[in-house]
Amino acid sequence: MNAIVVVDRNWAIGCEGTLLFSLPTDMKRFRALTLNGTVIMGRKTLDTFPGGRPLPKRRNIVITHNADFTREGTEVVTSPEAALALVGDVPDETLWVIGGSSIYTALLSHCKKVCVTRVDAAAPEADSFFPNLDKLPGWKVEHESEVMAENGLTFRFVDYMNTLL
């Protein structure tokens, strides 16, 4: 399993349920990596998509505490463990954790790879964060892209590997 996330320099990922940055190059990368795969997310992340609809051309698994929650085009479970059971033998390279903060935290130890877009900016208003992979044991940078610029921001793609799996 993998995770994909955009973070600021303090590992912040959101504010009041919205993303901190709009980077078309990052969105293209997200789409290319997750297309035709399986994505695991929390209900609040699903609600941030246009119309609250699941991502097209992907299997959408939603984790929520509300056992009665349903949304067309999704498979709903009530725990991270249930999500793991549901994905069974889905190949790791096509399985993606896409947020939010509590879902990332719950499933990070099961991820072999995390594709991070590191934005060289700080979002002081942020209220949700991704674990700092630079400080967690077992996480090592496998690849770092050149610095890119878009919408007045500089950023790079950094892929981390979990050496404990």
Judge whether 39 and 65 are in contact, CB under 8 Å: no
pLDDT in tens, 97-129: 999 999 999 999 999 999 999 999 999 999 999
Judge whether 65 and 92 are in contact, CB under 8 Å: no
Q: What token pair was written down for 19?
A: 């993303």
pTM of the model: 0.96
Q: What pLDDT, on the 0 to 100 scale, is given for residue 42?
A: 98
Residue 15 pLDDT grade (very low, low, confident, very high; cuts 50, 70, 90): very high
Long-range contacts of 22-25 (CB under 8 A, 24+ apart): 22/151, 23/117, 23/119, 23/150, 23/151, 23/153, 23/155, 24/150, 24/151, 25/148, 25/150
